Structure 1
Amino acid sequence: MKRQFIFLGVSGFLGLMILGIWASVEAESQPVPPKFSIIKNVAEFNLVIDKKPISASDVKAIDELPDPRRIILGGDDRIPMTSRKNPWSAVGKIEMLDANGNGYSCTGTLISENEVLTNAHCIVNPETRKAYQRITFLPNLINGVLRDQNDIAYGTHVAIGTNFPTETLKDFVDDWAVVKLNKPLGKKYGHLKLKSIPSFDLVGDTEQFALVGYSGDFPNPKKEGFEKLTAGESMTAGVHLGCSILRQKDNLLYHNCDTTKGASGGAIIGQIGSDYYVFGLHSGSNKVNGLLLNRAVNISRIR
């Protein structure tokens, strides 16, 4: 199925009908606009997506805790991701800069040696439809600290599912992006597999999924149990273990995983056997029949 994408250059967006878009991003200099080249198929990224059918009973709760203390406060089920082990080591913070030098952040997950999965709206501003100028990936950031400062990586090419042409909720059905990095971080930090199955097979109050995200309100070092996380909000990822994908509507998934801004692009992870898979991609929230719900992109939309 064809989708509408836009070619970005110095002069702005030019309307074109294509199936994907690559963005060459100037990583080291600012503020140089990215140079875009068009590809005909996202398969040129060599993504590996597992499409083998499974049943809900095949997915089990993740056995590797993100934090051995497992602190849960009040009605917020997020706990700090302080583990350097798989699958948590594959998750990192994405930082973006626009042409005016303003900074933004999202969450990304390594899905190959040098590719990160995140949201399209973390690459292109949906309101201006302009691409951010620089994409930086900070792998397994914990309390503002990396395992190795030399592992800071920059995006060199980007494939996105949408550039938000209609400015409606319909655009967010394809709110995915794959960022190619200038370093093979997946060799060191590991990477997660992508699992594509029909939406109806994902829906259910299974409490078997986990969502990881660098939310802008988490962790608060002033709260009991978080005192040692002195770097503050968005400098340690929050993980909601045991959440569910509860419904599907208009090609979007809706889940009950705790999250806020900054967690965009966060992976909804499940475990099959000893392997960890990304089943969905947190994209934000919107009202459904008057109720505000967290939404997600189905991995099957990446094609």
Structure 2
Amino acid sequence: MYRYLQLLPVAWLTLAGAPNVVADTLPPLPKIGVTGTDDRVRVDSKTWPWIAIGRINLEGRGHCTGTLIAPDMVLTAAHCLYNAPDGRWGIPLETHFVAGYDRGTYAAHSRAKRFIFDPEYDPKERLEVRGMARDWVLVELEKPLDIKPVPLAKIDWEGLLAAGRAGTMSNAGYSADWPEIVMRHAGCRAEKIFAEVSLVLHNCDATFGASGGPLLQIEGRKVTVVGLQSGAVTVSGNEYGTGVPVWNFAKAAQR
């Protein structure tokens, strides 16, 4: 699970029936932001759906995680594109999506062309629950990529919670402690919901850099995006990751 300051967002298939997980073990490193058992495992970024996940590289300002949801459209967290110290948004020219990134290699790359935000998103409210619920952005790319996108799920609250109970939900991203490889926590749960603001609370292991990474539902060969990683909260002494549910941004993506 997470360990952050209270209400601090992260600014941070070849086998039949399941996407590939790389079998080799990784040397232990200090965990950044993950407490208790670290359930993340490395996945093969050359295979789908992991090849459709990549780094959002921000020139001179680090990285976040993004998911290709159309040949020329990437989903990530809005706060990734906001430079809080300067109080300004990044610009598309300085924003790069690198699909299937793995230790300097990648499957495809494009700079951004434009950003599509929730019209009510305010970066000054990024520490508040209502801000977290709107913390998504669609990054339109300069050119389409020849990679199969991950489709958005058609799902409601009950379906999302059922995915968590069934162990079919996963989170994936390029966390600060493993910035060069994509790591996945399989079988994490949607723990609670804030229905009035459409925010998911989950127990997926992730940390800085994994912001904008997808919450996936994986059922055999079928993989869909059910949400995206936005941050973390502490509620009644319990720590949860926060996720923006897919219906918050699905209409914008369809347009």
Task: Name the TM-score class by shorter chain.
Answer: 0.7 to 0.9
Within the alignment, does 1:67 sit opposite 2:26 as a pair? Answer: no
Specify the SS of the correspondent of 2:193: strand
| Residue 278 in structure 1 maps to residue 238 in structure 2 | no
Q: Match of 1:245?
A: 190
Partner of 1:173: 133
8 Å contact from structure 1 (residues 199, 253) kept in 2: no
Quote the residue 1:193 is aligned against.
Answer: 151
2:62 is matched with: 104
Q: Does 1:131 align with 2:102?
A: no
Match of 2:110 among 153, 160, 168: 153
Runs of 4+ in 1 over 6 A off after TM superposition: 70-74
User: Unaligned regions of 5+ residues in structure 2, if any?
Assistant: 1-16, 29-35
| Aligned residue among 116, 120, 123 for 2:78 | 120
| Equivalent residue runs for 1:1-303 within 5 Å | 63-69=18-24, 75-97=37-59, 102-125=60-83, 129-133=87-91, 134-147=94-107, 151-161=108-118, 162-167=121-126, 168-185=128-145, 188-203=146-161, 204-218=164-178, 234-249=179-194, 250-272=197-219, 274-302=221-249, 303=251
| AA in 1 matched with 2:123 | F
User: In structure 2, what residue type is equivalent to 1:240?
Assistant: H
How far did 1:174 drift? 1.0
Q: In the aligned structure 2, how far is the partner of 1:283 from the partner of 1:165?
A: 15
Change (3 A) 1:80 1:245: same
Q: 1:164 to 1:277 in 2, by over 3 A?
A: same
What is the distance in 2 between the residues matched to 1:193 and 1:256?
23
CA distance in 2, matches of 1:251, 1:81: 30
Consecutive unaligned residues in structure 1, runs of 5 or more? 1-61, 219-233
Kindly provide the CA deviation profile for residues 135-175 of structure 1, in whole angstroms up to 9, marking residues without a partner as x: 1111100122224xxx3210011101223354533111111
Distance in 1 between residues matched to 2:39 and 2:117, nearest whole Å: 31
Q: Is the 8 A contact 1:108 1:116 kept in 2?
A: yes
Pairs aligned (count): 218
Q: Root-mean-square deviation (CA), in Å?
A: 2.2
Tell me the SS of whatever aligns to 1:281: strand
Taking every aligned residue pair, what percent have the same amino acid on both sides?
Answer: 29
Structure 1 residues 166, 239: CA separation in 2 closer, same or farther (over 3 Å shift)?
Answer: closer
Contact 2:132 2:231 in 1 (8 A): no
- The residue type equivalent to 1:252 in the other structure is L
Partner residue of 1:230? none
